[in-house]
Amino acid sequence: MTILDKPASDGTAAGDRSAPEVRKLRRETGGANVFSHGFLVFWGALTVLPLLWMFLSSFKSDAEILADPWGLPGALRFENWARAWTEAHIGQYFLNSAIVVAGSLTLTMLLGATAAYVFARYEFPGRQVFYYLFVGGMMFPVFLALVPLFFVVRNAGLFGTWTGLMLVYAAYSLPFTVFFLTAFFRTLPTAVAEAALMDGCGHFRLFFRVMLPMARPGLISIAIFNFLSHWNQFILPQVLMQGDDSKWVLAQGLAALAVSQGYQGDYSGLFAGLTIATLPVLVVYIAFQRQIQTGLTAGQLK
């Protein structure tokens, strides 16, 4: 049923409306559709065009970038990418980020899914208190805890290590992960869990063999959000990974590349490094776009 088929507020059916009323309603809905679609096109162009410009500039020479920044490259200069990967150490920073994000994401999903399942499925004293303590962590921005976090990590002997960075990433991702997955686990059918328990399935086996596979859409959705957050994180590694630049993550390497290449005039290498850093995010989002949408909508249904 379209909006034109719905009855009016006075109960009049669409067929009983006069022609001027129908034309007026069509003009109103048509104007709203034009505005909404126009805004979406504008927002899409605002997002895509800078990425496209960066990608094309990564194949240009420095002279082409300065002479015609909005033009197409004269040739595909893949040596810009090779120079950024090796001479600017983007390859090393890329590998470092992959290791840190893989470890922190695994830890976040394991702890977050376990805590969320307990909050959603089990009754115990203080459950709401502990749940709101977890959720309350979303109210504190990372900048508020940088100074005490620095001393805590340093006193624990984890300053300048990937292990310390993984633990901090996981700690800051847990509140939203628990909040999201708790709501998702509550939507899963209770009858399936009860049947598994009656068949002799233990609680741990029930969680890992039954409930986790059923929660796959929600797990993929929150994993993608956490991946994007960890991959793009800059302020935490900048504070906790000072010193040895061989352990820097990609965000730190790109910041150093932007400063150094800006003075040297190697803008093509800079754009190539930025493109290399952006590609994993685009690939992950495009590959799991359907799962993200499914997870966000499935968690709202009972």
* Section 151-156 average pLDDT: 93
Residue in the structure block whose two tokens are 């109103």: 28
Which amino acid, 112?
Answer: G
What is the tens place of the pLDDT at every residue in 69-94? Answer: 888 888 889 999 998 898 888 999 99
Is residue 201 scored above 80 in pLDDT? yes
pLDDT for res 177: 94
Compare 98 and 262 and report the one with higher pLDDT.
98
Closest CA to 106 of 248, 229, 223: 223
Give 24's pLDDT tier (boundaries 50, 70, 90): low
More confident call, 147 vs 32? 147
Tens of pLDDT along 112-127?
999 999 999 888 898 9
With tokens 């890992």, the residue in question is 208
The 3-state secondary structure of 250-271 reads HHHHHHHHHHHHHHHCCHHHHH
Question: E strand or H helix at 55, and its extent?
Answer: helix 19-57
Residue 249 has pLDDT above 60, yes or no: yes
The least confident of 61-70, 83-92, 183-192, 258-267 is 258-267
Q: Where are the domains of the chain?
A: 1-47, 79-298
CATH code that applies to domain 79-298 = 1.10.3720.10
For residue 261, name the pLDDT band (cuts at 50, 70, 90). low
Would you say 157 and 276 are in contact if contact means Cβ atoms under 8 Å apart? no
- As a whole number of angstroms, the distance between CA 249 and CA 234 comes to 9
